[in-house]
Amino acid sequence: KAGVTQTPRYLIKTRGQQVTLSCSPISGHRSVSWYQQTPGQGLQFLFEYFSETQRNKGNFPGRFSGRQFSNSRSEMNVSTLELGDSALYLCASSLEAGARGDTQYFGPGTRLTVL
């Protein structure tokens, strides 16, 4: 089975712009989660989608949003980019939401640099 894929792998934007990142989960996985990884804050949960519905949200401003499509693929969008949004954005998929101990499989990440 192919693993979780994320596109693009690298992205450079300037302050004020917006960006859309894409994630394709493992075939058959219905839950997609997003994380932000920075040297200062580490790995922080952004949000989780299951069956096209956002089921959980982390403590991030409304500039961060996402969605999930009927084929379980997910996108996250960041509007009005700030320098502090520079980070590695990781996507993870799992079979289903709410399953105790369900393993999450991570993608390689999208490295976003905001200038």
If binding is defined by CB under 8 A, does position 28 make contact with another protein?
no
90 sits near another protein (criterion: CB under 8 A): yes
Is-contact 59 49, C-beta < 8 A?
no
DSSP 16-39: T--EEEEEEPPTT--EEEEEEEET
Give me the least distance between CB of 27 and another protein, in Å please. Answer: 17
Q: Round to whole Å and give the CA distance between 82 and 18.
A: 10
Question: Which of 50, 66, 78, 85 is in the footprint of another protein by CB under 8 A?
Answer: 50
34 contacts 47 by C-beta, under 8 angstroms:
yes
Q: By CB under 8 A, tell whether 5 contacts another protein.
A: no
| Candidate residues 68, 94, 110, 112; the one interacting with another protein per rule CB under 8 A | 94
**Which of these, 21, 11, 33, lies nearest to 76 by C-alpha position?**
21
Part in contact with another protein (CB under 8 A); list of ranges 16-24, 69-77, 79-87, 93-101? 93-101
Q: Least distance from C-beta 87 to another protein, angstroms?
A: 14
- Which range binds another protein by CB under 8 A, 18-26, 29-37, 60-68, 71-79? 29-37
How far apart, in whole angstroms, are the C-alpha atoms of residue 113 and residue 115? 6
Q: Rounded to an integer, what is the distance from CA 47 to the centroid of its chain?
A: 7
Contact residues toward another protein (CB under 8 A) are 3-4, 31, 33, 35, 42-45, 48, 50, 55-56, 58, 90, 92, 94, 97-109
